[in-house]
Amino acid sequence: MKRSRPGAKGAPKVKTGCHTCKIRRKKCDEVKPACFQCVNTQRTCDFSILQPSMVLHQKKCMDIDNLGALYFDYFKNVCIQEFSLYFEDASWEKIILQAALAEPCIQHAAIAISALSRSQYESGHDALEYSTRRYILAIQALRTCLESVQNYELALLGSLVFIAIEMLQGHDNRVIMLLQSSAALLRSRSGEQLDYLWTALARIDTQVSAFLQLEDAGTDDFPYEDSEAQPWSRGAPSSDIKRLSRYWETGFDWRQAEAKLNSFPQYITPTQVHGFGTYEIHYIHQPSSNTNAIPLLFLHGWPGSFIEVTKILPRLVHGGRDFPAFHVVAPSLIGFGFSSASKPGFNVDQHAEAYHNLMQYLGYTQYVVQGGDFGSLIARFIAFNYGLKRCKAHHINSAAPAEPTATSHPELHARLKDTPLTPEELAGLGRTMAFSKEGNGYLRQLSTKPQTIAFSLTDSPIGLLAWIYEKLHDWTDNYAWTDDEILTWVSIYYFSNAGATAANSFYFEIEHRVPGAFEASQNYVDVPLGISRFPKDLILLPKLWNLTMGPIVFEREHDSGGHFAAWERPDAIVEDLRCMFGKGSKAYQCVDGKSGYEV
């Protein structure tokens, strides 16, 4: 057999990539506008479509002051990742960073973005004014460059970072103008290799275009509503949706809502899930100043989000003398908010593993968990999979136990026959039956054909608003929702990193799990269990049924409240958790060395 002759010594190892990498015999990643090999070694990358106007070297690129250097470092390490949520590819992490090292106009803009991002946290100098100066310098530098060379790609990259600056300042009209001009320029250069810029602009363009529908939505665009029908008998009233959509367009201040959310410490951390790879989990993590505090994992449901913890978190982290304090961790469930989208087959077991891994990553080797709706389902699986050794107790406010039978629980079944139902239990059964008959249409749709409804909810922000608003109204106990609260809840779904309807897949996966996830959550779990019941929740079954779920160490029935207990009745949830884990309770000191009280 003939063997091929080895290549001559000194010959290039690779045949593709930039000429610089070929000469250096390095593997080129072929990323434009400059490959990482050239960026890391500060060499000029002649592979790039975008020809740098100056040598790829920061010191030669522009004279950067100390403050600018700090902001540019913050841009490279933080802002890049924050803005990557708006795009579906690696545009910010690769293209923009490399362009910022090569082009003065992009570097000025990057510093402006960083200063704007930091302005809400910093004092001592006017970050907003500094950002404005850098923005002006970026515009001037781009104009100067384009006067000498018609570099369309640089112009489009400049538009991309300028869009980010305008977005941070809430200048929606300028964002739209820049998007329109960028799209027009891209269309005029359709024969050039600029596809990656289309990808970078696509997602934000889709979001802005969808919101533009609000501006054009007149009275005639809303569906017909029978004036003789009882309000809410057929869904969200047209009058409410009209009012909310107009306010969403003209009065709602997302930046104010965003700033309020950003007042809570938030993080994004990758976690491995067996058989499913790596997922990015967004979460709030607020440790208590009391080092003896109890680690608490808070799990939300649908159509809620991590926002539900924000009313109870400030109260839970304080304590230590008269009542226990907690270290609070509240993730966006995978597929929700700003966590990664889930994959087919990602079920309750995988959710449980992901959030258990998160607690271990944060150093909470033992912890307790609280959940409602989906969160209660996941909490049950965490208790089952990691109970006693890691998960020391669980508290839920959406209990859905199985009915005790003569076969499954003979003694309990006998007690039930001799125990009459209370008026509250009779009312609860009536509400449960009404929900089963008239209130769970969404459940049937999402657990069978979630993709069909996803088109409407993704295409129309008003459709998404009506879909969620109906649940916020029907599932609460006359809670006085403000328009700002409603639109903040809906906006989190609309701006979701995973997509406005990614959470819908949760129902499908639960329904198609074998054996059924809901039925599995009803099994007896030998981990201390606390239950809070609210009269306007969706499923309210006789209290004796709860004994089939596990050793109940705390149980309380409230006189008001509904499905979103942490939001409607934050005082009640906080008090229940304090009682369940306080001195004298059966769950007191269940976490080794963490009683919640000051030593």
> HEC string of 61-72?
HCCCCHHHHHHH
Instruction: Extract the tokens encoding 353.
Output: 């593993």
- Which DSSP symbol is given to 536? B
Q: Per mean pLDDT, which range of 75-89, 153-167, 274-288, 306-320 is the poorest?
A: 75-89
Give the closest residue to 528 by CA, choosing from 580, 463, 491, 481: 580
Where are the domain boundaries for CATH 3.40.50.1820 in the chain? 236-599
Give the closest residue to 372 by CA, choosing from 591, 549, 537, 556: 537
With 60 as the cut, is the pLDDT of residue 39 above it?
no
Q: How confident is the model at residue 60 (pLDDT cuts 50, 70, 90)?
A: very low
Is residue 24 within 8 Å of 88, Cβ to Cβ?
no
- The stretches of 119-189 forming alpha helices (DSSP H) are 127-148, 152-168, 172-188
pLDDT in tens, 439-490: 888 888 888 998 888 888 888 899 999 999 999 999 999 999 999 999 999 9
Is residue 510 within 8 Å of 448, Cβ to Cβ?
no
Q: How confident is the model at residue 11 (pLDDT cuts 50, 70, 90)?
A: very low
Residue 585 is predicted with a pLDDT of 96
With 50 as the cut, is the pLDDT of residue 52 above it?
no
The residues, ordered by sequence, that sit 6+ positions from 84 with a Cβ below 8 Å of its Cβ are 90, 91, 92, 93
Q: Which fold has domain 236-599?
A: Rossmann fold (3.40.50)
Instruction: Extract the tokens encoding 155.
Output: 């112009």
Residue 514 is predicted with a pLDDT of 64
Q: Please, which contacts does 436-444 make with residues 24 or more away whose CB atoms are closer than 8 Å?
A: 439/474, 439/538, 442/467, 442/471, 443/507
Mean pLDDT of the chain: 83
With 50 as the cut, is the pLDDT of residue 499 above it?
yes
pLDDT in tens, 329-388: 999 999 999 999 888 999 999 999 999 999 999 999 999 999 999 999 999 999 999 998
3-state secondary structure 468-513: HHHHHHHCCCCCCCCHHHHHHHHHHHHCCCCCCCHHHHHHHHHHCC
How does strand 367-371 pair with strand 529-533?
A: unpaired
Q: How confident is the model at residue 244 (pLDDT cuts 50, 70, 90)?
A: very high
Q: What pTM value is reported for the model? A: 0.68
Residue 389 is predicted with a pLDDT of 92
Q: How confident is the model at residue 258 (pLDDT cuts 50, 70, 90)?
A: very high
